[in-house]
Amino acid sequence: MSNQDLIDYLKECGVCQVCQLRYLKARGSEYKDMKESFQKLNVEISNNEDESLTKKPRLNPCTTCLGLFSEEFQQEIIQKITSCNIDQFECQTIGIALSMPMLLQIRQLSMWFALIRKFGSKIDEDRSPDVPLKEAAKLILNPIICQQLNKTYNSEGILINVFLDHPDELDDVARLLKVNEAVFSMKNARGKKQLITRAYMEKMFIPTKLSAETFEKQFTIPCPIPSSGLTLKEVTLSGPCVFVAGRYRKLSRKLSHSPWVLQGKRVMEDSIQEIIIRTIAPHFGVDEDKIIFSSSGREDVDVRCLGRGRPFVLEIPNSKRITLPNALALQMELEIEKSAQISVNNLQMVTRDDLVHIKTGEEKKKKFYRALCVLERPITVEVLKKLDMPNGFEIEQITPIRVLHRRPLHPRPRMIYSTKAWVDNKNPKILIIDIISQAGTYIKELVHGDFGRTTPSFASIIGQPIDIIALDVVGIDLDWPADIDNRNINNNIKIEVVDSVAVEA
Ligand SMILES: [Zn+2]
């Protein structure tokens, strides 16, 4: 079978020149100057009216691509995209996703059977004889669309979803189901009803697994000349997914981390997550409920988080912008500060890869706390000495009574790396204790012992009752995101910042 034989036969079947090149396994630039490509492949293209198969609107579209590669249809796609207001996105790159009707895949298979009948063993039975339509579309359509929109290709950019359809799609899919029923199990490996997906078709609907005779009970070989071509059903745009990181400081003892709802009623009016998201979402042109907030750990409602603050990241899908200038970051930080409940700094864009910082190693991280505690009697030097443990100790904690309703009961060991205590200078019964502990330690229980469920505890160590009045997180063991001072970058705008102070009595 020479290339010429193949092309002559394809032409006879009504296959367009682009698709003819697909069957010659043309790659990349070979689709640009088709005439030259045919010459290189020793194929003569006759000078009759068929020559410009892709140029002239024809009565019948190509049998295998149904007109996908005709210039007319390409222009229709581009026009539809340009009518979609792509300029709403501040982004110079685009990705393109073509959603093709199933009948295109059926037609490729039909042509495959036809070629086997015509050329016998010269045609592979387990590897498709053409460059798949999706791949060819990428090679041919993507550069044209990029050029016309004056954008560069990058799958992380604005995603252009192009949905194609055909009037015969439903009919053909119904017949495809009949073929599937006749040949393959209707259940998949997990016992569920087998859905006919693109991937399933690529795997099962090949000549080594399905006979031409069975296929022919529902379809014709080669595929018939179509009376109508593909239609452009819809084009949708979605903006890139961007990530904004920062650090928050929690200044309130009456604020939950995420919306706190019990039996349909809100327990706390607001939350850290909501304050941050509702401030930032409008700047990215995204609905608040589409944004995902995550942080490196969290603190209890009544615990403040001071020091440099706790790292967090927002995942913002379908974003209208891909950059965050310092001035805008500062504006957001100032807006958040107006809440008087939290403050945010170091706001910046990060990449998806950066998320590993926040999502891994949580258990291994050290936590830095300052606890304000009260004893029944004035504090002695002996008590201070006992609580001064620079080398730390190990404790065993059974799930605290206060969280039993939401966490399973199990004992777990935790490291307390160091503790240091001193007496409040106004009240001899008040102790301030700095604690460095392993992540996941219940600090309140470490102090009072939780009726013997945490051992040892500060209470058992000093041999007398001790209670905790207030707790602050004073440091998070994560040097991320980068220390970007949006305030100083912006020409020394002076802002009063609530400082990392000792706990309030
Ligand atoms: Zn074609």
Taking only the tens place, the pLDDT of each residue in 451-482 is: 999 999 999 999 999 999 999 999 988 889 99
Q: How many CB atoms lie within 10 A of CB 187?
A: 10
Q: Same domain, yes or no, for 138 and 174?
A: yes
Dump pLDDT digits (tens) for 214-265.
999 999 999 999 999 999 999 999 999 999 999 999 999 999 999 998 898 9
Burial (Cβ within 10 Å: 0-12, 13-18, ≥19) of residue 80: middle
* Average of per-residue pLDDT across 335-351: 96
Q: Is 434 annotated as catalytic?
A: no
Whole-number Å distance, alpha carbon 68 to ligand 1 midpoint, is 7
Q: Is pLDDT of 500 > 80?
A: no
Rounded CA separation 153/148 (Å): 12
How many helices (H) and strands (E) in the chain?
16, 16
Q: Same domain, yes or no, for 349 and 464?
A: no
Please tell me the predicted confidence (pLDDT) of residue 401: 83
Residues facing 438 on adjacent strands: 366
Residues facing 193 on adjacent strands: 187
Q: Same domain, yes or no, for 377 and 317?
A: no
Please tell me the predicted confidence (pLDDT) of residue 45: 81
Dump pLDDT digits (tens) for 277-300.
999 999 999 999 999 999 998 899
Q: What is the percent of the chain with per-residue pLDDT over 90, rounded to a whole number?
A: 72
Among residues 317, 339, 359, which one ends one of the domains?
359
Among residues 199, 223, 238, which one ends one of the domains?
238
Q: Same domain, yes or no, for 328 and 376?
A: no
Please tell me the predicted confidence (pLDDT) of residue 404: 74
Q: Same domain, yes or no, for 403 and 346?
A: no
Give the three-class secondary structure for 365. coil
Torsion angle, alpha carbons of 72, 77, 79, 83, to 10: 160
Domain presence at residue 490: no
Q: Same domain, yes or no, for 148 and 74?
A: yes
Whole-number Å distance, alpha carbon 211 to ligand 1 midpoint, is 25
Whole-number Å distance, alpha carbon 22 to ligand 1 midpoint, is 9
Domain presence at residue 30: no
* Average of per-residue pLDDT across 162-173: 96
Q: Same domain, yes or no, for 209 and 86?
A: yes
Dump pLDDT digits (tens) for 99-156.
999 999 999 999 999 999 999 999 999 899 999 999 999 999 999 999 999 999 998 9
Rounded CA separation 287/476 (Å): 30
Whole-number Å distance, alpha carbon 502 to ligand 1 midpoint, is 74
Here the tokens at position 337 are: 């500060």
Domains contained in the chain, number: 3
Rounded CA separation 70/228 (Å): 13
Whole-number Å distance, alpha carbon 69 to ligand 1 midpoint, is 6
Q: Is pLDDT of 504 > 80?
A: no
Domain presence at residue 51: no
Domain presence at residue 17: no
Query: What is the Cα gyration radius of the chain?
Result: 34
Q: Same domain, yes or no, for 256 and 295?
A: yes
Domain presence at residue 496: no
Q: Is pLDDT of 498 > 50?
A: no
Among the listed residues 45, 67, 222, 77, the one whose alpha carbon sits nearest the alpha carbon of residue 161 = 77
Rounded CA separation 438/375 (Å): 25
Please tell me the predicted confidence (pLDDT) of residue 276: 98
One-letter identity of residue 474 = V
Domain presence at residue 23: no
* Average of per-residue pLDDT across 437-452: 93
The domain spanning residue 290 has which CATH number?
A: 3.30.70.2510
Among the listed residues 41, 45, 42, 74, the one whose alpha carbon sits nearest the alpha carbon of residue 57 = 74
Please tell me the predicted confidence (pLDDT) of residue 493: 46
Whole-number Å distance, alpha carbon 24 to ligand 1 midpoint, is 13
- Computed over every residue of the chain, the mean pLDDT equals 90
Q: Same domain, yes or no, for 303 and 376?
A: no
Please tell me the predicted confidence (pLDDT) of residue 494: 45
Whole-number Å distance, alpha carbon 421 to ligand 1 midpoint, is 80
Here the tokens at position 384 are: 């201070």
Whole-number Å distance, alpha carbon 70 to ligand 1 midpoint, is 8
371-391 burial by CB neighbour count: b if 16+ within 10 A, else e?
bbbbbeeebeeebbeebebee
Among the listed residues 41, 215, 205, the one whose alpha carbon sits nearest the alpha carbon of residue 114 = 215
Which residues hold their Cβ within 5 A of ligand 1, which is an ion? Answer: 16, 19, 62, 65
Whole-number Å distance, alpha carbon 53 to ligand 1 midpoint, is 9
Rounded CA separation 369/72 (Å): 68
Residues in the chain: 505
Dump pLDDT digits (tens) for 395-421.
999 988 888 777 667 789 999 999 999
Among the listed residues 99, 101, 35, 96, the one whose alpha carbon sits nearest the alpha carbon of residue 66 = 101
Q: Same domain, yes or no, for 211 and 114?
A: yes
Rounded CA separation 91/320 (Å): 8
Q: How confident is the model at residue 499 (pLDDT cuts 50, 70, 90)?
A: very low
Please tell me the predicted confidence (pLDDT) of residue 48: 54
The domain spanning residue 457 has which CATH number?
A: 3.30.70.3190
Please tell me the predicted confidence (pLDDT) of residue 182: 85
Whether residue 125 contacts residue 207, with contact meaning beta carbons closer than 8 Å, is answered with yes
Q: Which of 8, 50, 300, 354 is catalytic?
A: 300
Q: How confident is the model at residue 47 (pLDDT cuts 50, 70, 90)?
A: low
Cα separations in angstroms, 397 against 52, 285, 389, 439: 79, 46, 19, 13
Whether residue 158 contacts residue 236, with contact meaning beta carbons closer than 8 Å, is answered with no
Beta strand spans in 137-260 (E): 152-153, 158-165, 231-238, 242-250
Q: How confident is the model at residue 502 (pLDDT cuts 50, 70, 90)?
A: very low
Domain presence at residue 489: no
Among residues 359, 384, 404, which one ends one of the domains?
359
Domain presence at residue 46: no
Q: Same domain, yes or no, for 156 and 90?
A: yes
Q: Same domain, yes or no, for 204 and 102?
A: yes
Q: Is pLDDT of 501 > 80?
A: no
Q: Between the ranges 42-46, 310-314, 484-488, where is the mean pLDDT highest?
A: 310-314
Whether residue 483 contacts residue 346, with contact meaning beta carbons closer than 8 Å, is answered with yes
Q: Is pLDDT of 187 > 80?
A: no
Domain span including residue 102: 64-238
Please tell me the predicted confidence (pLDDT) of residue 5: 95
Whole-number Å distance, alpha carbon 64 to ligand 1 midpoint, is 5
Please tell me the predicted confidence (pLDDT) of residue 54: 52
Please tell me the predicted confidence (pLDDT) of residue 365: 83
- pTM of the predicted model as reported, rounded to 2 decimal places: 0.79
